[in-house]
Amino acid sequence: VRPHAGGRPKAYDYEAMLLTVIEHPSLRNIDPDNHGAETQVMNLIRTCCDPSEAHDNDIPVPEPTKLREFAKKIVAAMKINRSAC
């Protein structure tokens, strides 16, 4: 007997996550060329989206693999945008 994975894959609100961190001062302080930039972005997303007494956000964050893919896209955009200035 094989276990069945239940239901549809979870859908995450990537737009809400992005809007939560886009103007965050900590994001501006991350150097996209430094080793560990993706991890810093992932940690910032978790900090800004997970429930906390510091803010009212409660945005579900995907598992680490999906979150890293999203962070990688943010870091790539940061590199492009910062080199254009």
Torsion angle defined by CA atoms of residues 37, 42, 47 and 51, in that order, rounded to the nearest 10 degrees: 170
Torsion angle defined by CA atoms of residues 40, 37, 14 and 85, in that order, rounded to the nearest 10 degrees: 120
For the segment 39-64, the average pLDDT, to the nearest whole number, is: 89
CB 27 within 8 A of CB 44: yes
- Residue 28 is predicted with a pLDDT of 93
Torsion angle defined by CA atoms of residues 19, 60, 47 and 83, in that order, rounded to the nearest 10 degrees: -40
Other Cβ atoms less than 10 A from the Cβ of 20: the count is 18
> Is the pLDDT assigned to residue 2 strictly greater than 80?
no
For the segment 51-58, the average pLDDT, to the nearest whole number, is: 80
Q: What's the pLDDT band for 1 if we cut at 50, 70, 90? A: low
